[in-house]
Structure 1
Amino acid sequence: MTTTDSVLSELLDTAAAREDALGWLAEEAERVKTAGLHRDPVVRRAEQPMINLASNDYLGLSTHPDVVAGGHAALDTWGAGSTASRLVVGTTAAHVDLEEDLAGFLGFPAALAFSSGYLANIGAITALVGRGDLIVSDTGTHASLIDGCRLSRARVVVVDRGDHAAVRDALQARTEARALVVTDSVYSIDGEPAPVAELYAAARDGGAALLVDEAHAVGVRGPGGRGLIAELGLSGAPDLVMTTVLSKSFGAQGGVVLGPELLRSHLIDRARTFIFDTGLNPAAVGAAHAALRVLGADPSLPERLRGNAARLAEAVGAPMPSAAVISLIVGDPRAAVAAAAHCRDRGVLVGCFRPPSVPAGTSRLRLTVRADLELDVIDHVADVVNEALTAVGAR
């Protein structure tokens, strides 16, 4: 036995004699399972196609021939990976071209792409505020915004969702010189819009910048799918930062931060999720760019999406949606899981949201509609969902 083997054997013997430091995981797993909160990823298989109303592929572009071809072309040109951080050799000409065209389409001077929307939000927040600053957030913000607030080390004031008066109060009462207000423009859980215009006015009056996550609004709301900010005429407004994703309406992968050129330059220097992360892979860049061109050439896609969402909402007895998300509250997490399984067994994938994604007692089915769904498919989905809700006693 070598010296290394002897040392390793001694360490293992010592560890075995002690209490298992990860032993608590078994108890925690049982607790989560009993509460109906255990999660298993849904595995999609190419040979078992299903009607998918659980994705965020709002415009159905992830499988669009032009988008797939755009990904292939980038793959052929640049290879499978960016190979390094964007600051080393991970920035290709394709990255820059996409950023310029996204900025132009969305009405901002500049854009910077990250490898995910999660990292874009964390990078933007932590680069804009830090210890000794203030963030005002609300209870509806996405987990990526929440984590960005935590990682920033700024003081965080959380207000009720959409309560712009409370935002004003927090900004007025602050002692910090620098402040940032953060919100989703369309809340991801139920698809309802935030009062972005009022939040922007409150931020401006309080000497703060406003960061708006448009992940669920681009491709869905606004002129030609440019988002809620554009719908309100605020694109490129002062002290306004926009974030969005390439993984929903653009059907690819990645996140983007948009604002003035100085913001882009600052993020390149200070956003750790940009500096220390391998750049967005070329295939995703090429696919997203192709999707942008498809949307630009067919501005009716968002209108078609909203029409499909309205039809499905009426058929399942839900309020008319403001975006592409239909939220059907079941209540008990076990009943929500059973309803989702009922749908899946009948060939329909739906989202199942339980705590901590939603408050206790509000577990739900979350349906995300697509622009490419035919009307007969929407009607079939409604029948399956209504049957599932009846089966679990939610109707």
Structure 2
Amino acid sequence: MIPGAVHGTDELITNFASVNFLNLQRRADVMDCLVDATRQYGLGSGGTRVIQGITPAHVDMEQTVARYLNKEAAISFATGTVANIGFINAMAGTQQFMQGLAMVNRDVVFVYDRDAHWSLWKAAEGLKFGERLFSFQHNSVESLEEVLRKLRGKRVVVVFESVYSIDGTVAPMHELVDLCERYGALSYVDDANGFLVYGPPNRNFHVEYEGMLRATFIMVSMKKAVGLEGGLIAGPKDAIDSFELISGASSFTAGVLAPAAAGTAYITRLLAYEEPQIVDDYLAKVADFRSRLLDVELPITDTATCFTSVVVGDEAKCVELYNAYLEQGIRVPPYLYPAARRGGAVLRIILNAGHTEEQIEHFIEVSKNFRDQKML
């Protein structure tokens, strides 16, 4: 529940927008971890990673995440967006540190999935399309191979997401990484949306996530399953160590706050090893929710991930629906261009582990009414 449709009022509404979908901060043990770390380290960062270093909490977090992802090392950044920008800057830039010491990457080219996150496209906006920046059709192995075939002999980084939050699709990661290996390209997977949710054998998309673990680099966000703020990149140790200097994101902005670092390490171990049933129960709740939406014939996205969108198409109509839901005490955010394709606007629904049956039923009843009124 968050402040109401008119900001500044004391009216409470039901929030289907929050990406903190497991709501773990309400657990006493998680709160104790965060509070204890706050007492030990405070809430200020004190400066950048390069200037002042990091705390034991950061070391623990980075080592824990690297082990979980089966990578040699990991480095943390203030957000997933900052991590993405730092990675592209490190891999694309030319930096002269001092006489005789430089990093020259002006010949590196990037190949993006066309639906890659805004932050990745933003990071690459200084690269000329068709020379250093290319794209392939969304989740298309054939399209990627066509592009890579034309780039033989070049230093290539292929960039894609694991789970795409707008359409809910999951990348064919085994096949994409296979192509990268065959053509000698590095691979970078943005796993902001699936970290700690998908991967185990008993869950959907296990095969795809086995493929992801073979990628050169994996970026994860703390905002989703963990429910905190920050991003990490895991990969080969020599590259990860270099990112501290050449990303720029560790030199010119503060990083993850120490309490969030401590909380991330704690929650990662909790969800991955100690209580994976938390995620299993949540995914079962999502599956039931999606089934009920389909039963009332709502036009939702096809792939059964924890990101479900109502497909609207027209941007103006999508904003009207957003406001209509607000009037009924429900927040469901509209995603328009550039978050979604032009003419492909959606309302993205994120079920929270804390949503009550009453709140869910209210959402479904309101949606049925909108459907009957031809608004959906």
Looking at structure 1, the residues matched to 275 and 77 of structure 2 have their Cα atoms a distance apart, in angstroms, of: 26
- The match for 1:50 among 13, 17, 26 is 13
Which residue in the other structure is 1:265 paired with? 241
Alpha-carbon offset, residue 231 of structure 1: 5.4
Counterpart residue type for residue 121 of structure 2: I
Q: Is the 8 A contact 2:163 2:171 kept in 1?
A: yes
Partner of 1:59: 22
Of 170, 188, 191, the residue aligned with 1:193 is 170
Answer yes or no: is the 8 Å Cα contact 1:247–1:253 preserved in 2: yes
CA distance in 2, matches of 1:276, 1:242: 22
Cα separation, partners in 2 of 1:66 and 1:228, compared to 1, 3 Å: farther
Aligned partners of 1:70 and 1:289 also within 8 Å: no
1:162 matched to 2:162? The reply is: no
In 1, Cα distance between the equivalents of 2:241 and 2:9? 42
Residue 227 of structure 1 deviates from its aligned partner by 10
Distance 1:138 1:127, change over 3 A: same
Distance in 1, matches of 2:121 and 2:5, equals 26
CA distance in 2, matches of 1:279, 1:256: 10
Q: Hey, what does 1:333 align to over in structure 2?
A: 315
Aligned counterpart, 2:268: 292
Separation in 1, partners of 2:333, 2:201: 27
Query: Once the 2 structures are TM-superposed, how far is the Cα of residue 68 of structure 1 from its aligned partner?
Result: 2.8
Q: Secondary structure at the match of 1:316?
A: helix
Kept in 1, the 8 Å contact 2:110–2:133? The answer is: yes
- The one of 45, 59, 65 aligned to 1:102: 65
Q: CA–CA distance in 1 between the matches of 2:85 and 2:153?
A: 21
Amino acid at match of 1:160: Q
Compare 218-227 and 192-201 and name the one that shifted more: 218-227
Deviation, 1:54, is 0.6
Gapped regions of structure 1 (runs ≥ 5): 1-40
Q: Do the aligned partners of residues 354 and 320 (structure 1) sit closer, same or farther apart at CA in structure 2, a change above 3 Å counting? A: closer
Partner Cα separation in structure 2 for residue 96 and residue 191 of structure 1: 33
Cα distance between partner residues in 1 of 2:204 and 2:53: 29
Check 1:390–1:113 CA distance in 2 against 1; reply closer, same or farther (3 A cut): farther
Partners of 1:46 and 1:241 in 2: CA distance: 44
Q: Which amino acid aligns with 1:146?
A: W
User: Which of 202, 210, 218 is matched with 1:242 structurally?
Assistant: 218
Q: Is 1:207 aligned to residue 189 of structure 2? A: no
One-letter code aligned to 1:362: G
SS in structure 2 opposite 1:87? helix
Which of the numbers 78, 95, 99 marks the counterpart of 2:41?
78
- Partner residue of 2:106 out of 121, 125, 131: 131
Quote the offset at 1:299 in angstroms: 0.6
* Aligned CA distance change for structure 1 residues 108 and 227 (closer, same or farther; 3 Å): farther
Residue 366 (structure 1) shift? 0.8
Within the alignment, does 1:144 sit opposite 2:119 as a pair? yes
Kindly indicate whether the alpha-carbon contact (under 8 Å) linking 2:228 and 2:264 is maintained by their aligned counterparts in 1. Answer: yes
SS state of the match for residue 51, structure 2? Answer: coil
Which whole-Å CA distance do the structure 2 matches of 1:284 and 1:386 have between them?
40
CA RMSD of aligned residues (A): 2.7
Provide the C-alpha distance between the structure 2 equivalents of 1:96 and 1:230, rounded to a whole number of angstroms: 30
Q: Within 2, Cα distance between the matches of 1:108 and 1:44?
A: 44
Q: Which residue of 2 aligns with 1:304?
A: 281
The residue that corresponds to 2:252 in the other structure is 276
1:381 aligns with 2:363: yes
Q: Secondary structure at the match of 1:50?
A: strand
Q: Which has the larger radius of gyration?
A: 1
In structure 2, C-alpha distance between the alignment counterparts of 1:290 and 1:269, rounded to whole Å: 27
Partner of 1:221: 198
Aligned to 1:7: none
Q: Distance in 1 between matches of 2:304 and 2:110?
A: 27
Residue 344 (structure 1) shift: 2.2
1:68 matched to 2:31? The reply is yes
Preserved contact between residue 301 and residue 309 of structure 2 (Cα < 8 Å): no
CA distance in 2, matches of 1:357, 1:231: 24
Tell me, yes or no, if the aligned pair for 1:302 and 1:371 is still in contact at 8 Å: no
Q: Is the 8 A contact 2:75 2:233 kept in 1?
A: yes
- How far off is 1:264 after superposition? 1.3
Letter in 1 for 2:271: L
Question: Who is 1:353 aligned against?
Answer: 335
Q: Which amino acid aligns with 1:181?
A: V
State the secondary structure of the residue aligned to 1:223: coil
Q: 1:294 to 1:372 in 2, by over 3 A?
A: farther
Once the two structures are overlaid, the 10-residue window that deviates more, 372-381 or 81-90, is: 372-381
User: Which residue is 2:95 aligned to?
Assistant: none
Counterpart Cα distance in 2 of 1:306 and 1:320: 16
CA contact (8 A) 1:66 1:291 kept: no
Q: In 2, are the aligned partners of 1:58 and 1:369 still within 8 Å (CA)?
A: yes
Name the residue aligned to 1:25: none
More helix per residue: 1
Note the alpha carbon deviations across 1:197-245, whole angstroms, 9 max, x for none. 11101111111011001111113211189996885424653x5210010
Q: Distance in 2 between matches of 1:113 and 1:288?
A: 11
Count how many residue pairs are aligned between Structure 1 and Structure 2: 353
How far, CA to CA, are the matches of 1:114 and 1:283 in structure 2?
14
